[in-house]
Structure 1
């Protein structure tokens, strides 16, 4: 197993070593020539979640940057990113086209649980890598049933486990109220949170409620949860509803400790609309730096990310979390291709994707790395828990090794 570091020197030495080793016996899979590596992806460029289209646009821009610098091991990367409109049938159609007509080496960094789920059996049946899937669903860590699939996103379960672990360390007698979106993501979060609490503490949950994404507001749910007398709230809500909930809790003069999903942590799109004073003390779990957060203004990773957006993707919004994960996932893919050297087969790409050892990717928080093994392909094992202080997110202590904490 190769331990990957992000320093320029280490990366250059690794690339040179693998390149010279592979030069003796080049082995190519579909989509690979002496000058090109062709990969595929789908995301929603149209439809109700077309905002996710920024993922494909940033990925394309990142490979343009890599190609302008000479490519990877002398080869240019060609990403073919197609619109799936976030519908399973369209995702299947576009994926089949990429595999059977365009003959891509792999499907990389596709967005969404429902769309990737629709293509998973097809890709695994054909032994086509479906790697760096942008979805936090627990189902992606299942190498026994689906050995050709890997995620690149902190699992919803892991986030919830980290927050529950933090709560148990600091307030084990909490009186709890739970709110979640009524979908698979919401259920994953709630399951993970309860797992982190343990069977005995789960009895301290006074009320659980859900909401539908189609509802105009969740005010009624917040009123009902306040009536329980809970002093702690765990909430899985998308940005719009997260802002509503934080604001409504303040309007009711209710002062519970709040733990929220990472999608509800954007200062610009959630906390400011909710009222930053209302959000003081809110907790969440983190793997990534928030580039718009003043805390990271002079951080080298963030400075480089801002420079990338300015030159290569000026339409990309700094505070869009979809851009952050797209940036990280594409960086990881370049490292995997470097490690492949001239052995650019599907088998070898999967071997590299399932043996990542403590990769320190850009925009990850200090102490958070990416690790995969053939038996567990979930990329994150540690997350930091932070508290919003009215200006920025302040991490509390070292990252939590969640699996170790819950054993």
Structure 2
């Protein structure tokens, strides 16, 4: 005999599903535009050394580890912490490989070409991450948001855009500092399409909304606008950041343009890192169910497992159910659900899926109430127990995705 479901008890769940259904189209659209970049060499550093002595090497290794910790944590102030200062005194324990190389560089004093020796050092990513997690620092994964940089400079030659064929030296300085922080920085082309929408005056006026609209063609997750005012005695930079529909503003001032660029990129890296780096938790992680369709072949299963292993938002996982191309995984979170979903949106290897919930309206009825959701809707794990009091109280949230790896 078909059991009649208590619709009053189902109503709250249906209302939640219907609310989430309204955001489905927007979420799918925003996901398509939030494709991150895979940043390599996060755990490597190249540091200039005066010679190849042991003392110079030890000093360079400590400096290299300092850069790596900042880059991986997304926080430049981490080097001020006592635990980090202590780790830097024994930086060699984190080294897996090092070597030297030489190249010609410009002397900052007279512009002459000089030969500079660099120590190239690679650090153990597992050991570095374990240190950050143990000390309660955030960890920023290799999948990072694209950052589109709109800049303008005002000096003795008037105002110039930063991009295209203008301000080449400044472009190189920005890219070098962005690489130091592990930031995927993108500069506008300033072709006819860009110039039809954005002028130097727009950047100088810090007109954020129209510039963000003009940024859509670049698939950027983050948009930053900066105006640089150069005087004979100082450089002042005013910056605006648009990230996940929120805006931030700040200023930096320095004696030279190079110093101002370092300060600007450090502020940018800290602000973006604060949003995307995963804050580890020492407590027992929350558990969620990851429901994945599209796992068609054995290689899909293997690649999906490798992908889950690499997500810093996940502390552990196991396959709890499999039926054909449809798999369910129990996920133990490192931080929280928002951090996991944010990471999934960046690389798009798992695509959020709508879910249908069918609720019988009465005994013998063939009608059904239908709703859609893209993300976390609670369901009951395991076989349902017959009850006259409606559906069971959900135990864990469920994420519905399709494998796209």
Same fold by TM-score greater than 0.5:
no
TM-score by length of 1: 0.25
Larger fraction in strand? 2
Instruction: Mark the structure with the bigger radius of gyration.
Output: 2
Q: Which has the higher helix share?
A: 1
